[in-house]
Amino acid sequence: MTDLRSSIEIFLVEIVKKIGEKPAPQDKVDTNLNILRTNGYIDDRFFNLLHDVLYKWLWSYLCSNKGVHKREKVNIYEAEFVIHIFEEFMDFLIKKVVYRI
């Protein structure tokens, strides 16, 4: 079973491989997002949105060194919203990279 953090990391590594580029290490989410931007799969505005929501908010929170019980509490509705953004981002990139839509 893969957790959400690993899902984000693995998805980005695999999608970067799919475009024919060498991905950054799995934990370099921001670098792999930047590879997608550099190769024209996402534009600057989309990159900034994803970097703020996916990387700064969701992934960084999941990677926090604080114990789960000591972390800032997250509103379930905010978390659900961010996860939906990630799901839509995955769908978008799969269509763009795999199906070339």
- Range of 17's domain? 4-98
User: Per the structure block, which two tokens stand in for 35?
Assistant: 């590879």
Using pLDDT thresholds of 50, 70 and 90, give the confidence band for residue 71: low
3-state secondary structure the chain: CCCHHHHHHHHHHHHHHHCCCCCCCCCCHHHHHHHHHHCCCCCHHHHHHHHHHHHHHHHHHHCCCCCHHHCCCCCHHHHHHHHHHHHHHHHHHHHHHHCCC
| Higher-confidence position of 52 and 16 | 16
Using pLDDT thresholds of 50, 70 and 90, give the confidence band for residue 1: very low
Other CB atoms within a 10 A radius of the CB of residue 9 amount to 22
Span 20-32, mean pLDDT? Answer: 94
Number of domains observed in the structure of the chain = 1
- Of the ranges 36-40, 64-68, 81-85, which is most confident? 36-40
Span 69-90, mean pLDDT? Answer: 77
